[in-house]
Structure 1
């Protein structure tokens, strides 16, 4: 493989896609971050309204059911864009440089999840727990992608499709804590809790196997975003991919035979029937969870590219230019606010409506988006202005 290539693709230095961020990619990432704030507001403040996986359409509050579907787009799009971003990075860097970046960023993300993000929950949960969530998962996937990107592109895409489409065949394999393979299997495909020494726990919220497929597919479509690909060609490919995935989701979901737990009809309640239809398993993400979310992401890339000159895209693109900063910043702010409210009013157990009434979720959302947006925009502009500070690219 020639220097400066990845995945068996020639990457001439004349192609400088990676030197300038594509606004539609950053805009989509920024849009996902806004949705993420909504989800984390619910998770932090409204714990008296638990959301199971998948949710029970017969009992869930409809507003929460539809909100849960909306925020389902966050993780798949974010992981796929990570793979796409790695490809764009590789266009102007050698394989060795890209590998070094992936390994450093991957281990840094794992450390952030374990050392910083997990302790933010301590004091809320009864037992100190290391939450192996999306940041940990992306870190692991980046480390694995450092090896996979050397594969020919066709092989990489095939591997990604196999992992995304067929990992549900492994669902019947359930190991118990007594099995020596339980810890690695829990991290790979079985969402579970691993007992650690000194009374600590590890919760494998994001088993990594299907996410490896998602990041591989994101990397695999990277050539569509090179500077020598005409916008109408890229948009046509994305539209075909997006509508194809959504059509596949509808067909498979109607058949009710593979890809997730069956949906059901709630007699006399079409709204709850729809909620049942769109309620899919996220941990790990089922095939039917990934089809509409990734398909929707492809369509939104086209939309944001078509309205590239709008103020909305410009604002979201700046917002999406500092995703790690926003992720750490907003979770820290939410935890500080929660613990402050906890000290003042006591636990939110469904009876205390001082700070856990779900009707206030939009109020909290509107109140926080601007204070969170301003420092994130400042940091994004700092990253663009100070490219000489290499450490900034890791955040």
Structure 2
């Protein structure tokens, strides 16, 4: 019997076109991949909380970086591109069982909610660490803006959406030479679009455009564009073949462009007598905003992981990761809140040990805390994910 059960992005959407078991096997990999990058995100945020005294440039400096951080930085680079692309994919699957008007309403409401969360809740979490109150316009902000823009772009023909997404992702680095200063009238607009920077706001506040939105718009459009691959009309073997071609093709393009060293990011270099640092230089790309070479291996790797998780969809690993992926906003807010509480508790108990901050003196402590926190964060996330699936009558739950 055909089943049509609809959940918003962030939860499995059993779109029409297959049995419940088939749809679950087809789409559980999406939640598993989303959960995988959420867990990786925890590692990056632990470093930003307890090891921020060790400077990490963008891109990282292969000559000075601790090798463990260099490779960890590459691993966590997969988080934002995959999450934004899956947001676009989730919107498409949401639209399968909803009208254009209903999908537009959802995108506008959720987009605005994400912007409010970034400005009103997430930014103040850092005000006890940074000296000046700053609105950090980070990934949640960028996704919110991109969802609002997607409400308009999704009305275009699918080939046009894909072409626009490809055009932005492949060619936005041509704009890198355009650098505006605070004296230029369009500086705030350009900082929001493409140039990572900061500009002053009234009452002494500052806005820091950590995630300029242009490149991320291209990513969410591409995620939306491949949405039809995940409907019931596409056979699993066909979808997996497409994803394998896409994934390996993007990784091959990355290797080729990186070896040519002519476009897509800052050049890499050979560190004489140190092959490890040479490798770190090769895999170190610009994230703010994400360069073409940053997006190729991360999105390509995401496509390959979708195939892997679909093939092992009955495993405990996929089931556990899907829990994190089924309640991504809850987990995101939970782990950042817990980290801030732990940080300020440590600062209050032991006082500063690095200027005005309390920091670890060894990166191994970050890795240890990463392992130790997964289960404690998993348990409340399980509860919330089950609540979302059980109480579909509570409207606001679908926005988290």
Question: Does the residue aligned with 2:326 lie in a helix, a strand or coil?
Answer: coil
Instruction: Quote the residue 2:213 is aligned against.
Output: 208
Work out whether residues 95 and 103 of structure 2, in 8 Å CA contact, stay in contact via their aligned partners in 1. yes
Pairing of 1:317-356 with structure 2 (within 5 A):
317-349=322-354, 355-356=360-361
Question: Does the residue aligned with 2:171 lie in a helix, a strand or coil?
Answer: helix
Q: Deviations over 1:159-212 (max 9, x none)?
A: 000000000000000000011100010000000011111111000000000100
Work out whether residues 109 and 138 of structure 1, in 8 Å CA contact, stay in contact via their aligned partners in 2. yes
CA change 1:237–1:350 in 2 (3 A) is: farther
Pairing of 1:306-325 with structure 2 (within 5 A):
306-325=311-330
CA change 1:101–1:369 in 2 (3 A) is: same
1:98 aligned onto 2:103: yes
Counterpart selection for 1:285 from 281, 286, 290: 290
Q: Which moved more, 1:360-369 or 1:179-188?
A: 360-369
Q: CA deviation at 1:34?
A: 0.6
Instruction: Quote the residue 1:15 is aligned against.
Output: 17
1:381 aligned onto 2:374: no
Q: CA deviation at 1:151?
A: 0.3
Work out whether residues 17 and 226 of structure 1, in 8 Å CA contact, stay in contact via their aligned partners in 2. no
Counterpart selection for 2:175 from 170, 181, 200: 170
Counterpart selection for 2:68 from 32, 48, 63: 63
CA change 1:17–1:89 in 2 (3 A) is: farther
Q: Which moved more, 1:169-178 or 1:18-27?
A: 18-27
Q: Deviations over 1:69-114 (max 9, x none)?
A: 0000000000000000000000000000000000000000000000
Query: What RMSD over aligned residues (CA atoms) do the two structures have, in Å?
Result: 1.7
Q: Deviations over 1:233-288 (max 9, x none)?
A: 00000000000000000000000000000000101000000000000000000000
Work out whether residues 52 and 359 of structure 2, in 8 Å CA contact, stay in contact via their aligned partners in 1. no
Q: CA deviation at 1:382?
A: 0.6
1:232 aligned onto 2:237: yes
Instruction: Quote the residue 1:126 is aligned against.
Output: 131
Work out whether residues 134 and 205 of structure 2, in 8 Å CA contact, stay in contact via their aligned partners in 1. yes
The separation in 1 between residues aligned to 2:280 and 2:255, in whole angstroms, is 14
TM-score normalised by structure 2 residue count = 0.93
Question: Does the residue aligned with 1:349 lie in a helix, a strand or coil?
Answer: coil
Question: 5+ unaligned residues in a row in structure 1: which ranges?
Answer: 1-12
Q: CA deviation at 1:351?
A: 11
Question: 5+ unaligned residues in a row in structure 2: which ranges?
Answer: 1-14
Instruction: Quote the residue 2:198 is aligned against.
Output: 193
Counterpart selection for 1:34 from 35, 39, 47: 39
CA change 1:350–1:233 in 2 (3 A) is: farther
CA change 1:16–1:182 in 2 (3 A) is: farther
The separation in 1 between residues aligned to 2:18 and 2:150, in whole angstroms, is 22
Instruction: Quote the residue 2:263 is aligned against.
Output: 258
Work out whether residues 269 and 278 of structure 2, in 8 Å CA contact, stay in contact via their aligned partners in 1. yes
